[in-house]
Structure 1
Amino acid sequence: MKIGWRTIKTALGAVIAMVLAYELHLSYWATAGIITILSVQNTTRYSFTVAGLRILATVLAFVIAILSFWLLGFNPWAFGLFLLLFIPVAMQLRLQEGIVVSSVLVTHFLLQKSYSWHWLVNEFNLMLIGVGVALIFNLFMPSLLAQIKGFQQETEAQLQQILLQMAQQLAGTPDVPTWQHLGALLTVIRKGNEWANRQRDNQLLIENDFYHSYFEMRRNQYEMLRQMQSNLDQITLSLKESAAIHELLTQAAANSANPQKIKHLQKSVAKLQTRFDQGPLPTNRAEFESRAHLYLFLLDFETMLTLADDFYAKVILMEK
C-alpha cells in the first residue's frame, strides 16, 4: 500500500486543525478537521480559490440561515427552507464549492437553537481554521519538473520519428505507420500540458509558462503534421522535388529543438518554394495533383517551422 503526499498532508492538516480548534475552546471543534480534509486540493492556486469561495459561501449561508430560523424557528422545516434558498443562490454566484461545508456549519445553529453572536463567531472560526490550515499545507507541493521533462523528451522523440517516417514515405517506402505515431504524439502532448499546468498552478510568486507554451506550440505543430500527412497520402507520383524535401525533413528531425537550425531550415524551404514556382508546368492530371499536394505539404511544413521559431524567439526575449 502506497501513501501519497496529498494523503499525508490531509491527515496531518486535519489533526492540526482539530487541535487548534480544541485549544481555542471552539464548540464542534472536529468540524475544523473535516473542513481541512475537504479543502486540500491538487494545486496551490486552486486551494486559494476554494478557500475564498468557501468563506464567501459561509457568509451568505449565515445570512440566509438567520432569516430561515427567524421565520420558522429551529426545526427541520427551517433548515429545508435554508437549503431551498441557499443552494440556488450559491450556484448562481458560483459559490458551489462552499455549499456542503456551509450547510454543515448551519446545522450547529439548529442543534444549539441559536444564531447568537457567540455561535456566529464560533462557526466562522471553524471555517477559518479549516481552510487556513489547508492553505498552509497546500503551499508545500512537490516539483513536477522531472515528469514534465520526461513528457518533453517523449514529445521530441515522437516528433523526430514522425518526420523521419514522412521522409521515408516520400522516398517511396510503403505502409509507414505515421498515423499511429501522430496519435501517440497527441497523447503525450496532452499529458505534458496537464502536468505543466499543474506545476504552474503550484507557483504563486513565480510566473513560468515555458512548459505550458512549449506543449501548446507542439500541439499546434501536431495539427500541421496531420495536414502534412493527409497531403502526403495523396501523392501518387515520384517527383524531383521530393528528394529535396526528404533532406529537409531529415534535418528537421535531427534539429527540432535547435533555434539556429530551424532558421536555416526556413531559408531552405523558401528556396525550395521558389524552385516550385519557377519549375515547368505539369504535363498531366496525375502530375498536377501530386505537385499540388506536395506544395501544400511544403506550406504546412513551413508553418510548422514558423511555430517553433516564434516560440524560441519568445523564450530568448524573456531570458534577456
Structure 2
Amino acid sequence: MKIGLRTVKTALGAVIAMVLAYELRLDYWSTAGIITILSVQNTTRYSFNVAGLRIGATILAFMLAIFSFWLLGFNPWAFGLFLLLFIPLAMQLRLQEGIVVSAVLVSHFLIEKSYSWYWLGNEFALMLIGVGVALLFNLFMPSLMAQIKGFQQEVEDQLRQILLQMAQQLSGIEKVPTWQHLGALLTVIRKGREWASRQQDNQLLVENDFYRSYFEMRRNQYEMLRQMQANLDQITLSLKESTAIRELLAETAASLAQPQKVQHLQHRVARLQDKFDQAPLPTNRAEFESRAHLYLFLLDFETVLTLAGDFYDKVILNEK
C-alpha cells in the first residue's frame, strides 16, 4: 500500500483543524476536520479558488437559512426550503464547491434551534479553520520539474524519430511506422502539458509559463507533422528535390535542442522553395502530383520551423 503526499497532508491537516477548533472551544469541532479534508486540492491555486468559493457559499447559505428558519421555524420543512433556495442560487453564482459544506453548517442551526450571533460565529469559525489549514498545507507542493523535463525529453526524442522516419520514406523505404510514432508523440505532449499546468498552478508568486507554452508549441507542430505525413504518403515517385529535403530533415532532427539553428533551417527551406519555383515543369501527371505533394510537405515543414522560431523568440524577449 502506497501512501501519497496528499493523503498525508489531508490526514495531518484534519487532525490539526480539529485540535484548533477544540482548543478554541467551538461546538461541533470535528466539522473543521471534515472541511479540511474536502478543501485539500491537487494544486495551490485551485485550493485558493475553492477556499474563496466556500466562504462565499457559506455567507449566502447563512442568509438564506436565517430567512427559512424565521419563516417556518426550526424543522425539516424549513431546512428543505433552505436547500430549495440555496442549491440553484449557488449553482447560478458558481459557488457549487461550497454547497455540501454549507449545508452541514446550516444543519447545526436546525439542531440547536438558533441562528444567534454565537452560532453564526461558531459555524463561520469552523469554516475558516477548515479552509485555512487546508490552504496552509497546500502551500507545500512538491516540484514537478523532473517529470516535466522528462516529458520534454521524450517529446524531442519522438520528434527526432519522426523526422528521421520521414527522411527514410523519402528515400523509398516502405512501411515506415511514422503514424504510430505520431500517436505516441501526441500522448506525451498531452501528459507534458497537463503536468506543466499543474506546476504553474502551484506557483502563486512566480509567473513562468515556459513549459506550458513549450508543449502548446509542440502540439501545434504535431498538427503540421500529421499533414506532412499525409502528403508524404501521396508521393509515388523519387524526385531530385527529395535528396535536399532528406538532408534538411536529418539536420533538423540533429538540432532539436538547439534553438539558434532554427533561423538557419528556415533559410534552407526558403532556398529549396526557390529551387522548386525555378525547376522545369513536370512532364506527366504522376510527376506533377508527386511534386505538388512534396511542395506542400515543404510548406508544412516551414510552418513547423516558424512555430519553433516564434516560441524561442518570445522566450528570449521575456528574458530581456
The question of a shared fold, defined as TM-score above 0.5 by the shorter chain, is answered with: yes
CA distance in structure 2 between the partners assigned to 1:83 and 1:120 by the alignment = 18
Give a deviation string over 1:173-225, Cα, whole Å, max 9, x none.
00000000000000000000000000000000000101001000000000000
The match for 1:54 is: 54
The match for 2:118 is: 118
Task: Give the CA deviation at 1:315.
Answer: 1.2
Give a deviation string over 1:19-47, Cα, whole Å, max 9, x none.
11011110000000000000000000000
Matches within 5 A, 1:141-290: 141-290=141-290
Alignment partner of 1:19 is 2:8? no
**Which amino acid counterpart does residue 60 of structure 2 have in structure 1?**
L
The match for 1:295 is: 295
Identity of aligned residues (%): 83
The match for 2:133 is: 133
**Which amino acid counterpart does residue 245 of structure 1 have in structure 2?**
I
Give a deviation string over 1:146-190, Cα, whole Å, max 9, x none.
000000000000000000000000000000000000000000000
- Normalising to structure 1: TM-score of the pair? 0.99
**Bigger mean CA deviation after superposition, 7-16 or 308-317:** 308-317
**Which amino acid counterpart does residue 213 of structure 1 have in structure 2?**
S
Give a deviation string over 1:56-105, Cα, whole Å, max 9, x none.
00000000011111111111111111111100000000000000000000
Match of 2:193, SS?
helix
Task: Give the CA deviation at 1:247.
Answer: 0.3
CA distance in structure 1 between the partners assigned to 2:136 and 2:313 by the alignment = 38
Task: Give the CA deviation at 1:301.
Answer: 0.2
Task: Give the CA deviation at 1:257.
Answer: 2.3
**Number of aligned pairs?**
320
CA distance in structure 1 between the partners assigned to 2:77 and 2:318 by the alignment = 61
Give a deviation string over 1:106-149, Cα, whole Å, max 9, x none.
00000000000100000000000000000000000000000000
Give a deviation string over 1:205-257, Cα, whole Å, max 9, x none.
00010100100000000000000000000001110000000000000111122
**Which amino acid counterpart does residue 101 of structure 2 have in structure 1?**
V
Task: Give the CA deviation at 1:259.
Answer: 1.6
CA distance in structure 2 between the partners assigned to 1:164 and 1:146 by the alignment = 27
Runs of 4+ in structure 1 off by over 3 angstroms are none
Match of 2:208, SS?
coil
**Which amino acid counterpart does residue 58 of structure 2 have in structure 1?**
T
CA distance in structure 1 between the partners assigned to 2:319 and 2:104 by the alignment = 50
Q: CA RMSD in A?
A: 0.5
CA distance in structure 2 between the partners assigned to 1:258 and 1:149 by the alignment = 16
CA distance in structure 1 between the partners assigned to 2:140 and 2:30 by the alignment = 24
CA distance in structure 2 between the partners assigned to 1:260 and 1:75 by the alignment = 73
**Which amino acid counterpart does residue 207 of structure 2 have in structure 1?**
E
CA distance in structure 1 between the partners assigned to 2:110 and 2:26 by the alignment = 17
CA distance in structure 2 between the partners assigned to 1:52 and 1:312 by the alignment = 37
**Which amino acid counterpart does residue 269 of structure 1 have in structure 2?**
V
**Which amino acid counterpart does residue 106 of structure 1 have in structure 2?**
V
CA distance in structure 2 between the partners assigned to 1:246 and 1:4 by the alignment = 48
